[in-house]
Structure 1
Amino acid sequence: MKILILEDNPDHAELIEDACQSAFKTNTNLQAFTTLEAGLAALQAQAFDVALFDLDLPDSNVVDTVETLTTLDTPVPVVVLTSLNDVDVAMRLIHRGIQDYLPKEELSPVLLERVCRYAIERKKQQLRLEARAQAQQMFCQSLSHDFKSPIRNIGQLATMLKDNLAERGQLTDHDQHLLQLMEQRLDSMDDLVNGLYDYLSVDGMGLQMDRVDLDAVLNRVLSGSEWVQNKQPVIRRQPLPGVQGNASLLYILLLNLIENAIKYSQGEPIIDIAWSRQGEHAQLCVKDNGIGIAAEYQEFVFQPFKRLNTGRSIGSGLGLAIVSRIVEHHKGRIVLQSRPGEGSTFYVSLPLAGD
């Protein structure tokens, strides 16, 4: 059993090593480190069966270590060593993918052996599920991409048929109506395929996080959206800040929020876009004058393919699900406030870019 131990307290480290030697009596290889930097470097360079991590380290306090562990990409199962006062922190880490935690005050060879064995099995199962999910996602993403060409070709053929019938004077009102219905159905299919592709692509994008000028992204959205160009909404906006994020994903986020506001507007679309500072985060506010959403339905709006019974069948049912996934990837938060007949306001929290 090859075990990485990250603990800066010599007395604690000795107790942990003794427990490991007693728990795994044969072929035990222990490598101990005292700083997060050294431990992570070893974790990347070598293969370990399990890693035991303390949270409060000389080069990383508890908050920073927790942040690092929530984004750690490693096939090695991680068990967090805590004090009894850190159990809540450890539970939050487990919800974010860490395999288990072990209070130092309760450390014993029997408990350590059981926790490590369970952590290894959980990690194996997690990796199998992730591989299966990735394969399914790639298949669906490829399928949605492949659907685009035939949908486009059918649309072109429908247009050619309509033009040919019109040139020969054989296009009746009934034919015109049927062809318009065909175009509408094709547009709906195209929205669905594009939405599905975007939804599946969120996890697959390489999340290069840089300083992003959110105001410049908004300008691109407003100039590039067909819904904005066709409906000409009234946009009342404040200058937006720079945030830390992925420019491509943030473009998709703003595009979906604004097009959602236009699609469900009452009369002339009016959209207010503002922001406020909330500690180290920017809270973006997008408010519309739409039909609004009753309280009992609001928990469903961020789920894929969930359309509310509004009498309108617009879009793919994926727009807000895409927004929610993008916010999650930015470690942000999205909140909806809405009442029927009074429009909706979406609050999106994103990390501010450093100076």
Structure 2
Amino acid sequence: MSGYILWTFYAFFMQSRQTDLENWATALSESVADALEEKDMQRVQIIVRRYGAPANITLRVFDAQGSLLATSDPRTDRQITNWLLISGVSEALDGHSVQGVTKGVLSREDRLYIVKPMTRNGQMLGILRISITLEQFQKQFVRVIWTILAALGITILLCTLVSNRLARSLSKPIEVMRNFAIRVGRGQFDDKLVIRQSNELDQLATELNRMSERLKSLDNERRAFLANVSHELRTPVSNVQVTIDALERGAVDEPELRDRFFQTIKEETKRLSGLIHDLLDLGRLEAGVTLLEIQAIALESVISRAIRAMEVRMQAKNVTVEVDVADLRIMGDSERLLQAFLNLLDNAIKYSTPNARIFIAASGNKQQALISIRDQGSGIPETDLPRIFEQFYTTSRSSKNGVGLGLAIARRIIEAHGGSITASSKPGQGAVFTLSLPLES
């Protein structure tokens, strides 16, 4: 807008000055033409000196051959030897009026000029050239430019302050709601969102609070369900064990039937006992009632204990383990971490092919220990990867081998230690579980 105003102002001034200059030239050319027709050169000199001013207005009269007859600036003009090179002179000698902007005859200042031919009865008497300096206008125009630029700067500053304040007033409640949503996404349902604005943002905050309360209720119901299921499963397990005792004391006379019952009951008992144990562990971990005995422990010793505990299973499947663990000390509960490693090793052995190898590596990275457990199984389908740490979630390949709690428990244990666990896999190349745990400071 400032540029447009300046351009408009400049164009208006130039147009006005050109119009004035043309009017002056027309009036003066008539008077000078009369004097030239009468061959009154003294009168021509008087007109030129009267209306010309060397400082800002220069008036010149030339004859029909382009020779200078009279000038208001004789000191400068006596230095010019060829007037045909001066802007507009040769065109006017051809009978054309010319006007425009050019530099001074011997100076570099900008001047507005007009050259008009003077004729009487079809005969060229001479030409009249008037030029005026633009220096004063340009100085004034520079002051106008700086004034407008200063006003523009002040306007931009004020607009910046106002828009910044307005943006903050709009973005602050949005940022508060974003942080609230992040906390809710992390499972923190006790916060209350307060937005003191009577608009749609306030209504949105109310709905977010309702959503948080509902999620908290659902979370409590889920935890209660896990606790109830764990409690209720104890009764059938006890009944199965009583039945086993009765059968062993001779309740069944048919040996074949008895042995089949024994096998079935033992398998179910083992499965139900494992389920109860896992459910109780998961419920305690999610409820935060499990107290961790945090202390500095050698990472290699925990991994070695887990491998020794799985030796029988590995030998049965002819699976070997390669270990490359740096001498690291981590902060954690050794028994809980052992449980997490056992679950991960159990998962790796379960899906490894016979005669395969499991690779365990660990290294330090800043304040974290990075542990990877890689198997040589068939891998985890890409569609299952995002959900394998969910409780009760089982892939198509594992639906008959577990209930989907082992990885969920491992994840809760690692996260309770302030660490993280991720999984990656490629079809036919096995799966890699990567853990991070805090190092001893």
TM-score, with structure 1 as normaliser: 0.58
- Residue by residue over 1:307-351, the C-alpha shift from the partner in whole angstroms, topping out at 9 and shown as x without a partner, is 111276112211111222223333333221223332211011222
Q: Please tell me whether the aligned partners of residues 227 and 283 of structure 2 are also in contact (alpha carbons under 8 angstroms).
A: yes
| Distance in 2 separating the partners of 1:212 and 1:121 | 47
| Distance in 2 separating the partners of 1:88 and 1:278 | 33
| Distance in 1 separating the partners of 2:208 and 2:231 | 34
Superposition pairs of residues 1-355 of structure 1, within 5 angstroms: 91=178, 95-96=182-183, 99=191, 130=216, 133-134=219-220, 137=223, 140-141=226-227, 143-145=229-231, 147-148=233-234, 150-155=236-241, 157-158=243-244, 160-161=246-247, 164=250, 170-172=254-256, 175-203=258-286, 204=288, 205-207=290-292, 209-224=294-309, 228=313, 231=316, 233-239=319-325, 241-268=328-355, 270-310=357-397, 313-354=400-441
Specify whether residues 149 and 331 from structure 1 end up closer, same or farther in structure 2 by C-alpha distance, changes over 3 A only. same
**How far apart are 1:306 and its partner, in Å?**
1.4
**How far apart are 1:287 and its partner, in Å?**
1.0
Q: Please tell me whether the aligned partners of residues 314 and 320 of structure 2 are also in contact (alpha carbons under 8 angstroms).
A: no
- Residue by residue over 1:239-282, the C-alpha shift from the partner in whole angstroms, topping out at 9 and shown as x without a partner, is 35222333343222111101111222211453211112333211
More contact order relative to length (CA 8 Å, sep ≥ 6): 1
Q: Please tell me whether the aligned partners of residues 302 and 320 of structure 1 are also in contact (alpha carbons under 8 angstroms).
A: yes
Q: Please tell me whether the aligned partners of residues 314 and 349 of structure 2 are also in contact (alpha carbons under 8 angstroms).
A: no
Specify whether residues 333 and 164 from structure 1 end up closer, same or farther in structure 2 by C-alpha distance, changes over 3 A only. same
Identity of matched residues, %: 25
| Distance in 1 separating the partners of 2:355 and 2:323 | 17
SS in 2 for 1:251: helix
Specify whether residues 230 and 145 from structure 1 end up closer, same or farther in structure 2 by C-alpha distance, changes over 3 A only. farther
Q: Please tell me whether the aligned partners of residues 292 and 333 of structure 2 are also in contact (alpha carbons under 8 angstroms).
A: yes
- Between 261-270 and 129-138, report the one with greater CA deviation: 129-138
Specify whether residues 212 and 188 from structure 1 end up closer, same or farther in structure 2 by C-alpha distance, changes over 3 A only. same
Structure 2 unaligned regions, length at least 5: 1-167
| Distance in 2 separating the partners of 1:242 and 1:282 | 9
SS in 1 for 2:342: helix
Specify whether residues 228 and 163 from structure 1 end up closer, same or farther in structure 2 by C-alpha distance, changes over 3 A only. farther
SS in 1 for 2:423: strand
For residue 165 of structure 2, what is the aligned residue in structure 1? none
| Distance in 1 separating the partners of 2:235 and 2:308 | 26
Amino acid at match of 2:268: R
Q: Please tell me whether the aligned partners of residues 325 and 363 of structure 2 are also in contact (alpha carbons under 8 angstroms).
A: no
| Distance in 2 separating the partners of 1:89 and 1:257 | 39
Q: Please tell me whether the aligned partners of residues 302 and 324 of structure 1 are also in contact (alpha carbons under 8 angstroms).
A: yes
Q: Please tell me whether the aligned partners of residues 151 and 189 of structure 1 are also in contact (alpha carbons under 8 angstroms).
A: yes
SS in 1 for 2:325: coil
- Between 89-98 and 299-308, report the one with greater CA deviation: 89-98
Structure 1 unaligned regions, length at least 5: 1-80, 103-108
Specify whether residues 215 and 289 from structure 1 end up closer, same or farther in structure 2 by C-alpha distance, changes over 3 A only. same
| Distance in 2 separating the partners of 1:101 and 1:142 | 32
| Distance in 2 separating the partners of 1:296 and 1:135 | 28
Mark the structure with the bigger radius of gyration.
Answer: 2
- Residue by residue over 1:170-190, the C-alpha shift from the partner in whole angstroms, topping out at 9 and shown as x without a partner, is 312x55345423332332222
SS in 2 for 1:295: coil
Q: Please tell me whether the aligned partners of residues 100 and 119 of structure 1 are also in contact (alpha carbons under 8 angstroms).
A: no
- Between 153-162 and 235-244, report the one with greater CA deviation: 153-162
| Distance in 1 separating the partners of 2:322 and 2:246 | 41
Q: CA RMSD in A?
A: 4.2
Amino acid at match of 1:219: S
Aligned length: 264
- Between 274-283 and 219-228, report the one with greater CA deviation: 219-228
Specify whether residues 195 and 298 from structure 1 end up closer, same or farther in structure 2 by C-alpha distance, changes over 3 A only. same
SS in 2 for 1:277: strand
